Amino acid sequence: MDAQVGNILLRGDPSTADYAYAYQIASQPKITMQQTPNGLVPVYQTPDLSSIRQPTYGKSAAPASAPIAPGPRIGTDSGLSPAIGTQPSSTGISVGSAIPGTKAPATEAQQRAGVLTGQLEYDVPIILQNYDSLSDLKSKTLGKLPGVGPAFQSDSYKSASQALDASVQTIVFELSGANTGAEEKRSTAKSLTPNVFDGPKQIQEKKARLVAYVKSVADASGDPEKKAKAQAILTSLNQSTPFTKPVVIDGVTIEPM
């Protein structure tokens, strides 16, 4: 509150019109704007006047000679979006919805991550659906034979292998940019591909690592919709391979559902 209003409330007579007027001014909610990923959000804070004496003038109405403009009320004459489902808390703070058209533009890095997330969200479910086939020795061997060898690989192996190759390219590009070497791609592929010596724990960790990459790229995009899709992939993975405890993969914690 400004100095004049504060002085009246501290030293003034609650039975006077001036005091009632000052009290009503001090009671108006204060509005600040906060930038969020979804846009500018109004934050309303109702002043705490519990230590201030209540006015006794009339019915706390302002004198006719000094009309008071109504304070902003969420979703009505404030011109702001209505508040979301929460009521003001004990601190007197409530948060409104994001104002349309105020979302900050995505950075170049966020735009790139958004495109890459879309690719991963297409490829990774294919990999997980056909994951066991990636450890098929027959199909792996056929893939190394020149000529028609790959033609005799199982359909599930070919689908998973092609999707994994595309995902590795996407992941490595996001992590290291365009200037990545063949060794980094081989290392990433190895960390995600099952082999005949992997037990259930190793299989689970490799699947979780793959989903952790999707979540990491989706988070970098800053797009709530893409984050939700990445979470849906995690949920699907957990239903097929339940986690008994949190798994930390490359700094990303995958929690049990």
* Percent of the chain predicted with pLDDT > 70: 77
Answer with the one of 71, 95, 119 that is the final residue of a domain: 95
Q: How far apart are CA 155 and CA 107, in angstroms?
A: 39
The pTM of this model reads 0.51
Contact 25, 61 (CB under 8 A): no
Residues 136-149, mean pLDDT to the nearest whole number: 82
Q: Give yes or no: residues 172 and 193 share one domain.
A: yes
Average confidence (pLDDT) over 87-106: 71
pLDDT beyond 70 at 82: no
Separation between Cα atoms, residue 245 and residue 156, nearest integer Å: 30
> In this structure, is residue 103 part of a structural domain?
no
Of the candidates 181, 177, 40, the residue with the CA atom closest to the CA atom of residue 108 = 177
Tell me which residue range forms the domain holding 204: 108-254
Write down the residue that tokens 């209540």 correspond to: 54
91 and 117 in a single domain? The answer is no
Residue 172 has pLDDT above 80, yes or no: yes
- Lowest model confidence (mean pLDDT) among 60-64, 180-184, 225-229, 241-245: 60-64
List strand residue ranges (DSSP E) for 74-180, in order. Answer: 93-95
For residues 118 and 61, membership in a common domain is answered with no
**Looking at residues 158-176, what average pLDDT do you find?**
87
- Residues 6-55 have pLDDT tens digits of 888 888 999 999 999 989 888 888 888 888 777 888 888 888 888 899 99
Establish if 204 belongs to a structural domain: yes
90 and 112 inside one domain? no
Assess whether 129 and 234 both reside in one domain: yes
Q: Which of 31, 63, 95 is at the close of a domain? A: 95
Q: Which residues pair with 31 in a beta bridge?
A: 44
- Do 203 and 175 lie in one domain? The reply is yes
Range with the poorest average pLDDT among 38-52, 156-170, 171-185, 239-253: 239-253
Confidence at 91, pLDDT banded by 50, 70, 90: low
Percent of the chain beyond pLDDT 90?
5
Give the total number of structural domains in the chain: 2
